[in-house]
């Protein structure tokens, strides 16, 4: 007799209704009946047409779940299924629900993050192409016999299709001169058949990609790959599903990624690779396409709408196995996902600045857990949160402390104290003598240089020396940045621009002085100091089109440029073996911002940009210009030592109960009236504090940029050791209630905030 408990046979309720989300940010589902004609055809993730409210115009809605019919007789029926719209996989729908709950946003905002706008809108369609075939060789022979010499174009088209079945009308027209009308007549007569098929818009159409084979691995690379394979093949549910791959710059992390993906493909799985910058995507895609060919899709905002639609649909149809791209590629709709790689996991661009304000690295960890996929977080300079998780055993750790080639050594980093460079007139030069001499030396030897400054524009501000007037944006708490090329002053917060002043608008004086410098000024000074050098600049002012990234980088890679000047978009991930010098113009730029992560960001940025030097057989040199040469972030970057920086920074974070030792979120308030913001915001903060006495809430204060686009901004920081689901649920409900009750003040929660600005 069986020892299993007896089960009572019950009839499950018939699922004859659905809950749907409208694209209205109501954070609420609505129920609709499934009409008999659509029974069995509707699944979660599908788009349907419904009537909403009193409107007689159909609206599209996403099906969230199937439900039994409620005991109501006033439910409307679904009108139809949006056949042309793809179904969101259930795993992604569940991830969207988690994003809404964790990041305190509406369900609709989370849903929008899952789909590119080109797919979500339904306005971009697959491109169709016609192809012609012979109905049968016998029919064609009979037709040609009857045709005789009456229509050479038709005869030539039939003969061409014998050799090239499936030819397009354009090809047939070019080869034979046949017209569309004549082709239509041949189809009507039964001699030809015509078929339509989708033709993908190809972002690689102009790319020349050379096929590559796996490279021999170093001992460190081999050990890391063995650990990855073990985690892929033999991990139990109690083992970590996240691995930190900590490798110094040029240690060969990408080759480990490639061979790990090859292992996943052999097992029938799919993989996602995230990179932090669009500028890195062409280089990364080229390497992955070179290894895996047409199994790779690219997903990022630099594509056209048509390309984004088609690349996403390739993943959805299962015709590709690998997706490479920036943050949004995380939501590639694979159904057998086995590996997610987050390269440069420390990079702040993985955090989205608009709702749902998710962090792609953290969501990747959650998606990996939901879909039983391995997540690899790769970096030469890991975030403190990731390092802490690896140290405490929450994540596995694989280290690659040496560069992949023993002949390629880490660059020598020299620090220049710019206070010692001050001239007799008390001015501090932009370039130190050491940096000028080093650039001349490289140019003489035919080597390349990178000059890094994380500030665009020509000068940071304009000042009238007579009255002290400094022009600033009328809508923002920000001085204008002067851009010499356009002779304009631009607000880098809202984008407002005015013509550069030639006289002071306050006193009429002409003694105007520009202070500070940006990449545009570095470019102009470099052209004067190094007149024979071929120079290019990469920042958001010059890289106005996605194709320009690859154009400039390709020129630099070929040796057509001697000096590349840029902001943080050139600081990481790029591999140019002939770059033997990196000059950091102002290493202090981010050190003194009002943000507890300022030192961490500075260390990471310096270490990453230093890693661009000496990646070939010629040793590299890095010159760091600073006025605080003894700062720990700068000293640790000089010695290429993450461990020293972590040892310096971790105790401070622990003492102050800051990440990774607590969760840190910011409540933001914006509005037209300062007093109204303060009143409503303080009422909310008091309610939250009374509900969660253990929560640490900072006093309400103006944001560092107090005004942006005409709106006053206030903020309060929240710190809590382990936020429970009830805490996030409360915050989320408060945010939803706020939108209904407080119309004149905007409020949002930035969960796990990265920036305090």
Query: Which of 88-92, 136-140, 674-678 bottoms out in mean pLDDT, i.e. has the lowest?
Result: 136-140
User: Which ranges of 189-304 does DSSP label H, i.e. alpha helix?
Assistant: 219-234, 253-266, 281-292
Q: Calculate the alpha carbon distances from 641 to 293, 395, 623, 644 in Å.
A: 37, 21, 17, 5
In the chain, % of residues over pLDDT 70: 97
- The arithmetic mean of pLDDT across residues 619-627, rounded, is 95
Name 689's Cβ contacts closer than 8 Å, sequence gap at least 6.
Answer: 695, 697
pLDDT at 280: 63
Name 609's Cβ contacts closer than 8 Å, sequence gap at least 6.
Answer: 450, 452, 570, 571, 572, 582, 584, 622
Asked if 23 contacts 110 with a C-beta cutoff of 8 angstroms, the reply is no
Which two tokens mark 165?
A: 């079945």
Query: Based on the domain organization, do 337 and 237 belong to the same domain?
Result: yes
Distance CA 106, CA 732 (A): 8
pLDDT at 703: 95
Give the CATH number for residue 389.
3.40.50.300
Interval 301-326: pLDDT, tens: 778 888 888 899 999 999 999 999 99
- The arithmetic mean of pLDDT across residues 402-413, rounded, is 90
Which two tokens mark 53?
A: 């409210």
Query: Based on the domain organization, do 170 and 223 belong to the same domain?
Result: no
- Among 90, 116, 147, give the residue marking a domain's end: 90
User: Which DSSP string do the residues of 675-690 spell out, in sequence order?
Assistant: HHHHHHHHHHHHHHHH
Query: Based on the domain organization, do 267 and 388 belong to the same domain?
Result: yes
- The arithmetic mean of pLDDT across residues 338-350, rounded, is 96
pLDDT at 13: 59
Q: Tell me which of 640 and 6 has the higher pLDDT.
A: 640
Which two tokens mark 285?
A: 């895609």
pLDDT at 74: 82
Which two tokens mark 615?
A: 């990646």
Interval 354-370: pLDDT, tens: 999 999 999 999 999 99
Query: Which domain does 617 fall in, by range?
Result: 412-458+517-653
Query: Based on the domain organization, do 225 and 186 belong to the same domain?
Result: no
Is residue 51 pLDDT above 80, yes or no?
A: yes
Domain membership of residue 504 (yes or no) is no
Query: Based on the domain organization, do 86 and 137 belong to the same domain?
Result: no
Query: Based on the domain organization, do 525 and 643 belong to the same domain?
Result: yes
Query: Based on the domain organization, do 582 and 716 belong to the same domain?
Result: no
- The arithmetic mean of pLDDT across residues 86-108, rounded, is 92
The dihedral of CA 254, 256, 257, 262: what is its sign?
Answer: positive
Query: Based on the domain organization, do 343 and 419 belong to the same domain?
Result: no
**CA-wise closest residue to 606 among 295, 369, 381, 408:** 381
pLDDT at 677: 97
Domain membership of residue 465 (yes or no) is no
Domain membership of residue 2 (yes or no) is no
Is residue 4 pLDDT above 50, yes or no?
A: no
User: Which DSSP string do the residues of 551-571 spell out, in sequence order?
Assistant: HHHHHHHHT--SEEEESGGGS
How many separate domains does the chain show?
5
Is residue 394 pLDDT above 70, yes or no?
A: yes
pLDDT at 203: 73
- Among 653, 676, 702, give the residue marking a domain's end: 653
pLDDT at 578: 94
Q: Name the most confidently modeled range: 77-91, 136-150, 251-265, 547-561.
A: 251-265
Domain membership of residue 484 (yes or no) is no
Interval 101-137: pLDDT, tens: 999 999 999 999 998 888 887 777 777 778 888 888 8
Q: Which residues of 96-130 are buried (b: 16+ CB within 10 A; e: fewer)?
A: bebbbebbbbbbbbbbbbbbbebbbeeebeeeeeb
Interval 452-479: pLDDT, tens: 999 999 998 889 999 999 999 999 999 9
CA-only gyration radius of the chain, Å = 30
User: Which DSSP string do the residues of 162-207 spell out, in sequence order?
Assistant: HHSTTB-HHHHHHHH---HHHHHHHHHTTSEEEEEEE----TTTT-
Which two tokens mark 717?
A: 């920081």
For the whole prediction, is pTM greater than 0.85? yes
Distance CA 4, CA 374 (A): 36
- Among 609, 626, 653, give the residue marking a domain's end: 653
Which two tokens mark 197?
A: 């098929």
Q: Which residues of 134-144 are buried (b: 16+ CB within 10 A; e: fewer)?
A: beeeeebeebe
Asked if 726 contacts 713 with a C-beta cutoff of 8 angstroms, the reply is no
User: Which ranges of 330-394 does DSSP label H, i.e. alpha helix?
Assistant: 360-370, 384-391
Is residue 616 pLDDT above 70, yes or no?
A: yes
User: Which DSSP string do the residues of 448-482 spell out, in sequence order?
Assistant: EEEEE-S--SSBSEEEETTT----B-SSSS-BPEE
- The arithmetic mean of pLDDT across residues 29-42, rounded, is 92
Q: What are phi and psi of 464, to 5 degrees?
A: -85, 120
How many C-beta neighbours within 10 Å does residue 11 have? 5
Which two tokens mark 755?
A: 């920036």
Is residue 202 pLDDT above 80, yes or no?
A: no
pLDDT at 346: 95
pLDDT at 166: 84
Can you tell me whether residue 122 is helix, strand or coil? coil
pLDDT at 71: 74
For the chain, the residue count is: 757
Query: Based on the domain organization, do 683 and 617 belong to the same domain?
Result: no
Name the band, by pLDDT with cuts 50, 70 and 90, for residue 680.
Answer: very high
Query: Based on the domain organization, do 86 and 25 belong to the same domain?
Result: yes
Distance CA 356, CA 248 (A): 33
Is residue 5 pLDDT above 50, yes or no?
A: no
Longest C-alpha distance within the chain, in Å? 103
Query: Which of 135-149, 195-209, 307-321 bottoms out in mean pLDDT, i.e. has the lowest?
Result: 195-209
Is residue 6 pLDDT above 80, yes or no?
A: no
Name the band, by pLDDT with cuts 50, 70 and 90, for residue 682.
Answer: very high
End-to-end CA distance of the chain: 70
pLDDT at 47: 92
Domain membership of residue 102 (yes or no) is no
Query: Based on the domain organization, do 628 and 531 belong to the same domain?
Result: yes
Q: Name the most confidently modeled range: 169-173, 369-373, 418-422.
A: 369-373
Interval 513-526: pLDDT, tens: 988 899 999 999 99
Give the CATH number for residue 691.
3.30.70.600
Where does residue 279 rank: exposed (0-12), middle (13-18), buried (19+ CB within 10 A)? Answer: buried
Is residue 1 pLDDT above 60, yes or no?
A: no
Write down the mean pLDDT value for the chain.
90
pLDDT at 217: 96
Bridge partners (DSSP) listed for residue 463:
513
Query: Based on the domain organization, do 612 and 709 belong to the same domain?
Result: no
Is residue 8 pLDDT above 50, yes or no?
A: no
Which two tokens mark 450?
A: 């990178």
How many C-beta neighbours within 10 Å does residue 183 have? 20
pLDDT at 7: 41
Distance CA 75, CA 18 (A): 11
Is residue 534 pLDDT above 80, yes or no?
A: yes
Continuous segment of H or E residues that includes residue 650:
helix 642-655
């Amino acid at each position: 007799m069986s020892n299993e408990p007896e089960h009572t046979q019950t009839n499950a309720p018939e699922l004859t209704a659905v809950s749907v989300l409208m694209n209205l940010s109501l954070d609420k589902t609505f129920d609709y009946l499934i009409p008999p004609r659509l029974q069995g055809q509707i699944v979660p993730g599908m788009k349907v047409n419904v009537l909403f409210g009193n409107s007689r115009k159909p609206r599209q809605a996403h099906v969230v779940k199937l439900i039994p019919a409620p005991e109501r007789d006033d439910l409307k029926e679904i009108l139809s299924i949006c056949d042309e719209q793809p179904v969101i996989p259930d795993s992604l729908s569940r991830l969207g629900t988690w994003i809404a709950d964790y990041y305190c946003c509406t369900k609709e905002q989370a849903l929008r993050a899952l789909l590119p706008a080109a797919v979500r809108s339904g306005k971009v369609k697959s491109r169709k192409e016609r192809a012609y075939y012979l109905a049968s060789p016998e029919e064609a022979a009979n037709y040609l016999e009857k045709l005789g010499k009456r229509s050479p174009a038709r005869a030539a088209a039939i003969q061409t299709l014998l050799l090239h079945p499936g030819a397009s009308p354009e090809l047939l027209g070019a080869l034979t001169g046949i017209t569309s009308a004549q082709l239509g007549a041949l189809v009507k007569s039964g001699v030809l058949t015509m078929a339509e098929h989708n033709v993908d818009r190809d972002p690689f159409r102009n790319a020349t990609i050379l096929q590559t084979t796996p490279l021999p691995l170093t001992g460190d690379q081999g050990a890391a790959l063995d650990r990855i394979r073990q985690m892929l093949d033999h991990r139990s549910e109690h083992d970590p599903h996240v691995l930190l791959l900590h490798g110094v710059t040029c240690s060969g992390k990408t080759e480990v990624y490639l061979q790990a993906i090859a292992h996943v493909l052999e097992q029938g799985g799919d993989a996602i690779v995230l990179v932090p910058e669009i500028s890195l995507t062409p280089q990364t895609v080229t390497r992955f396409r070179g290894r895996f060919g047409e199994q790779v899709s690219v997903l990022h905002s630099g594509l056209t709408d048509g390309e984004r639609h088609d690349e996403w649909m390739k993943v959805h149809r299962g015709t590709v196995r690998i997706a490479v791209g920036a943050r949004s590629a995380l939501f590639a709709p694979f159904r057998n996902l086995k590996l997610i790689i987050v390269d440069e996991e420390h990079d702040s661009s993985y955090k989205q600045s608009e709702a749902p304000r998710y962090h792609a690295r953290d969501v990747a960890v959650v998606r990996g857990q939901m879909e039983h996929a391995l997540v690899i977080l790769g970096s030469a300079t890991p975030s403190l949160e990731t390092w802490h998780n690896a140290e405490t055993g929450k994540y596995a750790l694989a280290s690659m402390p040496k560069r992949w080639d023993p002949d390629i050594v880490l660059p020598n980093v020299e620090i220049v104290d710019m206070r010692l460079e001050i001239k007799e007139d008390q001015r501090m030069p932009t370039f130190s003598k050491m940096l000028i001499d080093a650039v001349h030396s490289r140019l003489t030897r035919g080597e390349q240089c990178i000059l890094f400054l994380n500030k665009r524009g020509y000068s940071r501000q304009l000042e009238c020396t007579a009255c002290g007037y400094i022009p600033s944006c009328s809508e923002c708490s920000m001085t204008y940045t002067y851009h010499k090329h356009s002779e304009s002053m631009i607000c880098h917060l809202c984008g407002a621009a005015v013509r550069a002043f030639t006289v002071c608008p306050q006193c009429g004086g002409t003694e105007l002085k520009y202070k500070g410098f940006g990449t545009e000024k570095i470019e102009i000074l470099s052209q004067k100091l190094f007149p024979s050098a071929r120079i290019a600049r990469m920042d958001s002012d010059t890289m106005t089109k996605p194709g320009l990234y690859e154009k400039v980088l390709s020129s630099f890679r070929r040796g057509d440029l001697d000096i590349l000047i840029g902001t943080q978009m050139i600081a990481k991930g790029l591999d140019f073996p002939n770059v033997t010098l990196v000059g950091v113009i102002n290493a202090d730029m981010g050190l003194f911002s009002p943000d507890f992560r300022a030192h961490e960001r500075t260390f990471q940025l310096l270490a990453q940009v230093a890693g661009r030097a000496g990646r070939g057989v010629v040793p590299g040199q890095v010159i760091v210009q600073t006025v605080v040469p003894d700062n720990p972030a700068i000293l640790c970057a000089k010695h290429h030592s993450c461990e020293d920086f972590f040892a310096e920074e971790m105790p401070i974070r622990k003492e102050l109960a800051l990440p990774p030792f607590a969760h840190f979120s910011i409540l933001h308030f914006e509005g037209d009236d300062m007093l109204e913001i303060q009143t409503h915001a303080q009422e909310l903060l008091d309610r939250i504090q009374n509900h969660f006495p253990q929560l640490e809430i900072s006093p309400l204060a103006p944001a560092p940029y107090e005004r942006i686009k005409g709106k006053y901004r206030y903020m309060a920081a929240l710190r809590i050791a382990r936020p429970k689901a009830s805490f996030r649920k409360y915050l989320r409900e408060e945010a939803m209630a706020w939108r209904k009750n407080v119309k004149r003040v905007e409020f949002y929660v930035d969960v796990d905030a990265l920036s305090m600005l």
